[in-house]
């Protein structure tokens, strides 16, 4: 049902290695933004910002997709004037035992949904890396390019302590 829903989405995907798990490197990583100004374009759109430690030292990279978010990333269902949103995890979420319920928005409202992951590079081999995905998603027309820089109507926090894992 994603095809006809009037949404503006912004994914901010930050990834780091063990080096940035503590100390000054972690403080710098934790100071990275979880929202950006939207590009000049009309919805529906998905504005993706990637910030990777190993690619340009967390310098943001931007892309825009015209259309709704992928069904593999988020479920959207509109009914009775409300939009039901459910983020679909990718990979292994960190230590989450029970997922939160879906969020419902009225037109003009927006949600910030954050989730963390611990993953291995190269299909399960190689060193671990860690990710924070932040989905900022507005339902209906967006009145300003800076909408996601404010306080969300709803906030879902699935961030977890991402501990190092020792493979046996």
pLDDT per residue as tens digits for the range 9-34: 999 999 998 877 778 878 888 899 99
Give 130's contacts (C-beta < 8 A, 6+ positions apart): 15, 16, 17, 21, 94, 116, 117, 118, 119, 162
Token duo for residue 67: 């259309």
Report pLDDT digits (tens) over 33-46: 999 999 998 888 99
Nearest Cα residue to 76 out of 134, 141, 133, 8: 8
3-state secondary structure 89-151: CCCCECCCCCCCCCEEECCCCEEEEEEEEEEEHHHHCCCEEEEEEEEEEEECCCCCCCHHHCC
Q: What's residue 162's pLDDT?
A: 54
Q: What's residue 97's pLDDT?
A: 65
Report pLDDT digits (tens) over 74-114: 999 999 999 999 999 886 555 556 889 999 999 999 999 99
Residue in the structure block whose two tokens are 């960190």 = 94
Backbone phi, psi, residue 36, to 5° = -135, 165
Ranges of H-type helices in the chain: 23-30, 121-124
Q: Give all strands of the β-sheet with 110-120 in edge-to-edge order.
A: 61-66, 45-52, 7-16, 128-139, 110-120, 154-158
Percentage of the residues of the chain whose pLDDT score is greater than 90: 61
pLDDT at residue 3 greater than cutoff 70: no
Q: pTM of the entire structure?
A: 0.88
Ranges of H-type helices in 31-167: 121-124
Q: What's residue 118's pLDDT?
A: 82
């Amino acid at each position: 049902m994603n095809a006809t829903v009037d949404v503006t989405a912004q994914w901010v995907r930050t990834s780091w290695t063990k080096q940035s798990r503590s100390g000054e490197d972690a403080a710098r990583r934790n100071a990275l933004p979880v929202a950006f100004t939207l590009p000049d374009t009309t919805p529906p759109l998905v504005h993706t910002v990637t910030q990777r430690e190993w690619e340009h030292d967390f310098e943001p990279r931007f892309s825009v997709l015209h259309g709704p978010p992928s069904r593999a990333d988020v479920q959207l269902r509109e009914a009775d004037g409300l939009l039901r949103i459910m983020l679909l995890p990718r990979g292994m979420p960190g230590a989450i035992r029970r997922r939160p319920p879906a969020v419902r928005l009225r037109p003009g409202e927006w949600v910030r949904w954050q989730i963390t992951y611990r993953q291995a590079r190269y299909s399960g081999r190689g060193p671990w890396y860690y990710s924070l995905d932040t989905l900022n998603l507005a339902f209906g027309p967006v009145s300003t390019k800076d909408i996601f820089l404010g306080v969300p109507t709803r906030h879902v926090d699935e961030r977890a302590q991402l501990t190092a894992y020792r493979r046996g």
